[in-house]
Structure 1
Amino acid sequence: MGRPAKGARLYLRQGRIDGRTGRTLAAVYFIRDGAKNISTGCGPERLTEAEVALAEYLTAKAASVRPKDRALEPEEVLIDEVVALYAREKAPGLADPSAVSARLGAILDWWSGMTLGDVRRSTCMAYVAHRTAQPIKAFKNAAQARRVSPAGARRELEDLSAATSYWDAEHRLTRKPVFTYPKTAAGPRDALSREQVAAILRAARGWRLTPEGWRATPVSTRSNRAHLVRFVLLGIYTGTRPGVLPKLRWTPSDDSAWVDLEKGWIFRRGRKEADKPTKRRPMCRIPKRLLRHLRRWRRQDDILNAERLKAGQAPVETVLHHGGRAIRGRIRKGYKGIVADAGLDAAITPHWHRHTAATWLMEADVPIRRAAQYLGMTPRTLEKVYGHHRPDYQSDVSDAFDRGRRTRQ
Structure 2
Amino acid sequence: MSNQSARRELEDLSAAVSYWHEEYPFSRLPAFTLPNKDEGNRDVLTRNQAARLLKAAMGYRLDVASGKWTRLRPSSRKNRAHLRRFLLMGLYTGTRPGVLPKVRWEMSDDSAWVDLYAGIIYRRGRRERDHRNKRRPLVKIPNRLLAHLRRWRRLDSLAFADGEDCEAPGTVIHHGGRVLSGRIRTGFEGIARDAGLNPATLTPHWMRHTCATWLMENDVPVWEAAGYLGMTAEMLERNYGYHRPSHQAAPRAAFNRKNG
The interval holding the TM-score normalised by the smaller chain is: 0.7 to 0.9
Amino acid corresponding to residue 99 of structure 2 in structure 1: V
Identity of aligned residues (%): 49
Q: Give 3-state SS (helix, strand or coil) of 2:121's partner.
A: strand
The aligned residue for residue 33 of structure 2 is: 181
Contact 2:167 2:178 in 1 (8 A): no
Structure of higher RCO (CA pairs closer than 8 Å, 6+ residues apart) = 2
Superposed CA RMSD in Å reads 2.8
Q: Report the residue type matching 2:122 in the other structure.
A: F
Are residues 222 and 379 of structure 1, via their aligned partners in 2, closer, same or farther at CA, if it must alter by over 3 Å? same
Distance between the aligned counterparts of 2:8 and 2:43, measured in 1? 21
Q: 1:283 to 1:163 in 2, by over 3 A?
A: closer
1:227 to partner: Cα distance: 0.8
72, 75, 78: which one aligns with 1:220: 75
**Given the two structures, how large is their TM-score scaled by the length of structure 2?**
0.88
User: How far apart in 1 are the matches of 2:213 and 2:231?
Assistant: 13
Counterpart pick for 1:252 among 107, 116, 128: 107
Deviation at 1:248, TM superposition (A): 0.8
Aligned amino acid, residue 265 of structure 1: I
How many angstroms apart in 1 are the aligned matches of 2:20 and 2:116?
A: 45
Q: How many residues align?
A: 255
Q: Which residue of 2 aligns with 1:114?
A: none
1:307 is displaced (CA, Å) by 2.1
**1:239·1:375 contact (CA, 8 Å) conserved in 2?**
yes
* Aligned residue in 2 for 1:190: 43
TM-superposed deviation, 1:160: 9.7
Q: 1:169–1:246: structure 2 CA closer, same or farther, 3 Å change rule?
A: closer
Q: Which runs of 4+ in 1 moved over 4 A?
A: 152-157, 163-170
C-alpha distance 383-182 of structure 1, shift in aligned 2 (>3 A):
closer
Alignment of 1:10-409 (within 5 A): 151=7, 158=14, 162=18, 169=25, 179=31, 181-186=33-38, 189-210=42-63, 211-212=65-66, 213-308=68-163, 314-346=167-199, 347-403=201-257, 405-407=258-260
5+ long unaligned stretches in structure 1: 1-135, 137-145
- The runs of 5 or more residues in structure 2 that have no matched partner are none
Q: What do the CA deviations read for 1:223-244 (whole angstroms, capped 9, x no partner)?
A: 1111110010000000000011
Equivalent AA in structure 1 for residue 247 of structure 2 = Y
C-alpha distance after superposition, 1:290-335 (max 9, x if no partner): 0111111011011012123x87x63211111111111112200000
Bigger radius of gyration among the two: 1
Q: How many Å separate the matches in 1 of 2:122 and 2:17?
A: 33
